[in-house]
Every structure is written in C-alpha cells, then in structure tokens.
Structure 1
Amino acid sequence: MMDNQYPQSDFLLVPIKVFHTMMLINLINLSTFILLGSPGLEVAHIWISILFSAMYAVAVLGNFSILFIVNMELSLHVPMYYFLCMLAVTDLILSTSILPKMLSIFWFNSKEIDFSACLTQMFFIHCAAVTESGIFVAMAFDRYVAICDPLRHSTILTNPVVAKISLAVVLRGGMLILPYLFLARRWPYCGTNIIPHSYCEHMAVVKLACADISISSYYSLSVTFLVIALDVFCIAVSYTQILRAIFSLPTKDAQLKTFGTRGSHLIVILASYIPVLFSALVHRFGHNVALHFHILMANSYLIVPPTLHPIIYGVRTKQIRNRLLQLLTHKGM
C-alpha cells in the first residue's frame, strides 16, 4: 500500500493553482502593451519617420496659422471660418495623438505603452475622427446655405446656431466612442501584449483579448458604417444642390471658379473617408492584405488629412491667403 504524503485533493489543486498563477502573471504583464510600429518595414522606419515628421510639422504650422489668422481678422468671424477653426483644432488633436508616440517608436525604440494611456490614445484618435466627419457635414451645410440661399445665410446660421451645431458634433463623437473604452476595459487580456500597429487602434487592441469580442467588433463596424453612410449622404445632398446652383450661374468663368473651389473641398472630404472604410474592412475581412500595407493606410488617414486641410481650406481660401501674405510681407519689411 502506497504511503501518500498529501491528500488526493491537494494533487488536484496543484494544476489549478499553477493556472491561476500564470493567469495573474499574464494579467500583470498586460498592464502595458508593446507597439511594433510598422511590422515588416523596420528597415524603412527612419525614412517613414522623416516623412511623417515633415507632414506633422506642416499640419501643426498650417492649422495654428489658420487659428491665428481667423482670431486676428474680424471679417473672418463668420460660420465658415468658425467651422474651419474647429477642423483645425480637431486635426491638431488627431495628429498629436498619434505622431509623438509613433516617432518615439521609430527613433528611440520606445514601444511600451501603459494600458490606461493606450485607452486614452484610442479615445482621442477615434473621437477626433468622428468629430471631423461631423465638421465636414457642418461645413457642407454652411456652403449649401451660402450658395443656394445667400440672402438668408446670416439669419439661418447665427452664432447661437453655429455653437449648437458645434456642440452636437463634439458630443456625437464622444458618445459614440466612449463604448469603445468601456468594452475594451472589460475584456480579459491574458495572452500576448504585442500590438502589430503604431498606435492603439481599437480593433488592434481588443483582438488581444482572450474572450469573445463580437460585441466590440460589431459595434465598431456599426459606428464606422453609420457615421460614414449618414455623413456622406448629407454631404452628397448638400453638394448636389450646390452643383445645381453652380451650373445655373450665368457665365462659364463663374461656374469654373466656383466649381474649382468647391470641387477641391469635396475631393479632400471624400478622400478622408476611403482609407477609414478600407481599414475597418481589412480588420475584419482582409486577412490576405499585407500587414505593412494596412498599417501604412491606417497611419495615412490620420496624418495626411491634417496636413492637406490647411492647404486646401487655408492657402486656397482668398481671405486667409491674403491675410497670411500681409503678415509675411509686414514681417519681411
């Protein structure tokens, strides 16, 4: 007869205790995540960082210039430029939420990010993206009223109305994105803590959870399609009416001038939606898409628009361009 030193129940508890210990170790490790940057393009990190740094510098300088000029020029205190200032602030938040950490990865190999910091970055990136989409709708509505009903523009878009529209746009962004954080925080993270991305993109983070993340996936996809479908529809309706008004102008020169300005705005707006939709679909269905290509596309839709907006909406806008030239000429004298 074998002499057991331990009761049989203790032997059953050993693997359970080991499992719980491993779980605790994993949970402790997952208090931080590791951002890889652009997996597969490590050799080109320095060149990518130079390109993104230059774009970030243009975005910061251009958007701050717009804010400064609109603040200084009383004649620009009208709805169109209020919305433009909102867009500039949103672009600054969007680009600043991603670039400093991305550059620290590329330059200093600083890949760790705290879980709370990761969720904070996630909120600002996605909230700014949704808010920016709402600003495009507001700007399209402003242009629709200005071109199709110019005599009533000042009575329709008063300062209180503009303030309410702006508040609604910001609140919509925050309310739609807050569930991202609540859902991401509730999932258990007990596996790898490596995020194959250069920032804390929502789906890239929740995919690390060792649980069924269908709620997060479906909600994220619903928000993406709801925002894009609703906002693009509103913009399309506004610009359809604007185009009808443009083609009813008496001269070809007037038509071409107005269409050139509005056309460039419309192209920039639509170009902002295509990469977002592409990234959302790739996360769920694009398993054959190269990871480095997906990461570059995801980075581009956060960095390229903040760089282009000051050029398209600022430099090509006559009032801002003239005021900027006056400031530069005056300083040069």
Structure 2
Amino acid sequence: MSDSRRALLSALADGPVSGPGLADRLGISRAAVWKHVEALRSEGFEIESTGDGYAVTAVPEYGGRAIEYGLDADFDIEFHEALGSSNDRARELASDGRENVAVVAREQSASRGRKNREWTAPDGGVWMSLLIRPDEPPAYAPLYTLAMAVAVCDAAREAGVDVGIKWPNDVIVSEASDNSSATADESNRGYRKLCGILTEMEGEADRVSWLVIGTGINVNLDPATLPEGATSISAEAGEVERRVFVQRVLERFSELASDLESVLPAWRDRADTLGQRVRVHTASGVIEGEAVDVEHPGTLVVETENGIERVHAGDCEHLRPA
C-alpha cells in the first residue's frame, strides 16, 4: 500500500476530514485526494462529502483496504480473491525482499498444514500468512508461532468463543468448557479445532532471515462443511465481521511480537494442554504423560513414569481419562 493511501485511510478512520486538510496531511494535491477517495469508493467504501469533510459511512465486509482501514498495526495487506496458498505467496514476497506483509485470501485451493496435510479453505474463513523479519536468532522462531496462537485465541474470545490452545499451535474449543456438549463427567476433555498455524522459516546460524506464519481460522463457516472434529466462530457464537477479526489478530500479534518475554506467560494462561494427559508423537518415538509446562522457546515439558521429558516438536494428542 502506498504511503498516501495508508495516511488517507488513517485520517478517514479518525473521523470527518476536509479535502484541504487531507491534502495538507498527505502532502498531495486536492485532485490527488479526490482520486484516492474515488478509488476507495470503487472498492466498496461508502464515503460522503459532509459539511465537515469526507466521512466514511460504510466499510466493505472484507478485502485488503477494508482490513487496513482502522488497523492499528504496521502491516501491509495483500488481498486475493482466490489463491493457491497464502504461505507460498508470502515466501515469494520474502524472496522479493518484502516484510511486514499479511497475505490474505478469500479462499484457497492448495491449503496445507503440518506434514503437507491438505485442508479445505473456502470463502468464510480467514486464510492468512504473515511475513516478518524479526531481528532474533532462529531458536526464537517458535515464540512467534505461540504469539500467533495467543492472538487468535484472544480474537476468538472477544468474539464470544471460549477457546484454549493445544500445544503447540492449535486453537480449540474444549468440550469440557462447552455447556452444549459437557456431560456430568467434567474431566471429559475432547475438543473441536478452530484454527491451525504453520510457520516456515529461512535463516542463518545467528539470525532469522524471514518467518512466514500461516494461519487458517474457521470463522463464518458451517461445521457441516468442515472436517470431522472442527468447528467455527459462527457455529459457537454467531457470525463476526472478518475484517475486524483479522485486525484484532494482527494488532494482538504485533503487541506480543514487540515484547517476546510476554509470549510464554500469555500462552500458559490460555493453554488447554497443560495439566492434561498427553501422547506426543515425535521423530524419536512416542512420549506419554502429563503436560506440566511450556519452556522457552516453546518446549513442552511432560512428566512421564520415567521422569521429565522435554519435547521440542511433535504431534500432541489430549488423552481422555481412563
């Protein structure tokens, strides 16, 4: 997004502003202001010319400019009506030297998760990949995945959904905290998946070159169209404005990324995994026991019959009590 368009959206979000005021603020001519306003109108913004100046009266339900309007985080939005994979596109932008870009697609045709598992990404969800270049060593990369999980968790809670995080990167609705499905046995800890996160990285020995954090969130989707065991924001609490939901995720992520020491405490506070019996499938075998903590930079600590095990990567299952 151009600096002029960013400044225009910021000014309009603050309230009515006159054409001359916009021209002075943006350092462009009044004719250029008019062209920018007309471009926004063509994208679905309703902008009235009032006695106090230009005023936005309606914003498109979704789209790049709609997400940027009022966004309180320093990210450019690259929006696509349809895309194979937002992670693939974000990696292309990384090769071009870009940073701080959120690639958002209305729908995707080649979505993939861990171990290249394919999944459905129709219109109604939030399919987004964030490209950043943190000035941190590669060992810190998992913290950004945890930060995104916290950001999605907080946005979902703001939307009215009681969610938690399953280590390391799934946002879930636990059946034990769901009044519609809870039984008399409140220790029954099944769950439904709301969001998955896939992070890809390129780096050197001492620093990250780039991170792409891919996020697939079931927002306004009918669970009947989703894989078994999945749910959506709309199914749990009703439909939400996707542009506002994306803004909340990006703003919360930005807060956490600028203060990495806050990430683990925030993750622990929202964790559904801690205190659970788990089975973790790792490259070296299966670890089973009680998840008791997560340590820097995202290591799961499991208390087993043979002592403490620390798991850096793996697929985690929550086990129902015997």
Q: Same fold (TM over 0.5)?
A: no
More helix by share: 1
Larger radius of gyration: 1
More strand by share: 2
Q: TM-score, normalised by structure 1?
A: 0.23
Q: TM-score, normalised by structure 2?
A: 0.24
Higher relative contact order (CA 8 A, sep 6+): 1
